[in-house]
Structures are given as structure tokens and as C-alpha cells.
Amino acid sequence: MSTKEQVKALWKLCFDDEDDFVDMYFNLRYTGDVNIAIRRDNKIVSAFQMIPYPMTFCGTSIQTSYISGACTHPEYRKKGIMRELLSQAFTQMYSNGVFVSTLIPEKPHLVDYYTHMGYASVFNYSKRILSLAEISPTNKNLPIECTTGYREDIYKYLNQKISQRPCCIQHTEADFKVVLADLFLSKGNVFYTTGKGKKIDGIAIAIAERDTLYISELFAESREIENELLRQAATMCGCAQLHIIIPPVGTLESFPFGMARIIDAKGVLNLYAALHPEIETDIELHDSFLSPNNGYYYLCNGKCIVSKDKSQTTPLCLTINELTKKILGGMQPYMSLMIN
């Protein structure tokens, strides 16, 4: 079997995904360039894909690598193989200019495992829960349509809105097409409305399950348009309840979602220092898997000075996990529309 066929067979062995989803993933998402694997006994026993995603960070865009489909053959587990594979991946990411790696743990107990690998739980979300009865119809006639097909105007509208979030995973046009393919398999829809000149005025990406409409992204040009999107989408789907996933809000409960790990400490701290020239601190950084990150970082006057030698001041000693939590955790990073 080819590498792709072996990885696909391993995926089916390790996960309970429907065949339609697995076929979609390996047709649209998988490539040899993003895959990394370990062989034992002349076969692939552990693999995952490193999916590239841009992310807004400190007023610019950085490259991130999202760990997808991490799995090990049951007969080869608890032998350190995934640890070895992640270590190889970190080195490859660093060489490829990746600043941050991200992932979504498949199960809660894996959070501790990834924490030991340097990841920190920094991606969270909040949830708005509404009943259809709470949403009053507007006085205006707002036509709401739905689709799972790609439309350039919908992608551009979504991209413009997501790019305004200060620390957020972004979606390329190609990636959005994968999101739509997954949405189609889940029997979901993109609900949208247009205004003057057929310009998109609002979208809601939603999946109905029983009597609840789950909305993973919602943008609108006014509260009136937002309410009508929600009301008509719920009505079309026969749903009485709406659960709207949104970036963390202080007045609402926050739920853990994804994890991040700094790959290029110097690159991240250079950008962070430039955005926060008021910060002056001396960091002694320890990274058990990426030795280039080990060293002393002095942040002062908007710059980050790196040295292998200890300064005369007492530095703040941090692991790569603690640095990730300190830098990214305070920014309330957000991710959505991930194929997880």
C-alpha cells in the first residue's frame, strides 16, 4: 500500500469516523507534504498531518501548524512513538518557519499528555443559548438563503470578519472549501442574506441536531439582520433552540477547546516585544524538545535580545508550556471551523 493508503487505514483503525468523512478528508485535506509518520516492522504505526493555518498575532499574520489525526496503532502504543513523532514534527515546523503549533485534544485525558509536550490550553469559547420564541421577527423583509456550495462573496465576507479578530486562526480559500465539504456531510448549511447590490450582509454557519441549531460562526451588519438570520435559520431547520459558539466573553462561561505550543520562541517574542514596548523582563527559557529555544530572552524598549549566556539579573524561569500560557493565554486566542 502507498503511504496515503496506510495512513488512511490507520485512521480508520483508530477513529470512529464515517467513511464519507474519511474519504473527504483524504481527498481534500491530506497531502504527502503535510503528513508525518513513523514506521515499525515495515509498516506505518503512527502518523498525523500538520495543517498550515495563518493566525493573526500582535498586529500581523504568523504561520501555525495544526496537528490533525494524531494516532498510533493499538499494538504500538505506550512505547513513546507519538512522543518521538511529535518531537520530529516540532523540528520540521521550526525549520519551515512555523511560529506556533495548535491542536484539539480528541479526549480530555490527552490534555495532560500534550501539556508534557509543551502545549498549553489557551483556546476557549463561550456560548449563547437562545430559544426561537425569544427572537422577534423584524419589520423588514429580509430574504434568507442557504447553501453548502462555495461562493466567493461569502468567503470574502467571512474572511474579512475573522481577520479582524486580534489573535485568531484564519481560513484560506482552499480550507474554506474543506469546511463546506464537511458541512455538507453533516447536513449543515451556510445561511446568508444580501443587501444593496447583492452584497453579503450576514452569514450563519449552522448544523441542526434534533430540535437544536448549532451555530459555529455568526456575522451580521446589524443586530436586526443577525436576529432575522437566527430566526429564519431555526425556522427552516425546525429548531426551537439555538446554541451560538462565540469567542470568549467575560460575562459568559468559558469552555476549553484547543491547545497551542510556541515553536519559534524568538520569533514570537520579537513580535510580542514590538507590540508591548512598555514591558521589560528577563526570561530563562527551557524547551525539552526544541533546543534552539533554550536560552535567555531580554525584552526591553520593544525589542527582544537573545543570548545563551545568563545575564546579571535574576531571570524569570519558564518552560515552553509556561511561556505559551503567558503570551497567548492573555490574548484570548480563538479558533473556529476546525475539522476536528
Length of the chain (residues): 340
| Strand arrangement of the beta sheet that strand 295-300 belongs to | 303-307, 295-300, 281-286, 316-319
50-89 tens-digit pLDDT: 999 999 999 999 999 999 999 999 999 999 999 999 999 9
109-149 tens-digit pLDDT: 999 999 999 999 999 999 999 999 999 888 678 899 999 99
Going by the DSSP 8-state scheme, the letter that residue 138 receives in this structure is P
Tell me the C-alpha distance between 98 and 104, whole Å.
18
Query: Is the pLDDT score of 312 beyond 80?
Result: no
Query: Is the pLDDT score of 44 beyond 80?
Result: yes
H/E element, 50: strand 43-57
Q: What is the pLDDT of residue 250?
A: 86
Domains of the chain by start residue, with CATH: 3-122 (3.40.630.30), 126-246 (3.40.630.30), 264-320 (3.30.1050.10)
Using pLDDT thresholds of 50, 70 and 90, give the confidence band for residue 305: very high
SS3 category, 267: helix
9-31 tens-digit pLDDT: 999 999 999 999 999 999 999 99
Q: What whole-number percentage of the chain has pLDDT above 90?
A: 91
Tell me the C-alpha distance between 102 and 92, whole Å.
15
Tell me the C-alpha distance between 318 and 104, whole Å.
23
Tell me the backbone φ, ψ of residue 15, rounded to 5 degrees: -120, 160
Going by the DSSP 8-state scheme, the letter that residue 285 receives in this structure is E
Q: What is the pLDDT of residue 138?
A: 81
Q: CB neighbours of 70 closer than 8 A, spacing ≥ 6?
A: 47, 48, 82, 85, 103, 106
164-215 tens-digit pLDDT: 999 999 999 999 999 999 999 999 999 999 988 899 999 999 999 999 999 9
Whether the Cβ atoms of residue 319 and residue 287 lie closer than 8 Å to each other: yes
Return the half-sphere exposure (C-beta side, CA atoms, 13 A cut-off) of residue 260: 31
Nearest-CA neighbor of 154 among 191, 185, 183? 191
- Grid cell 425556522 in the structure block, residue: 235
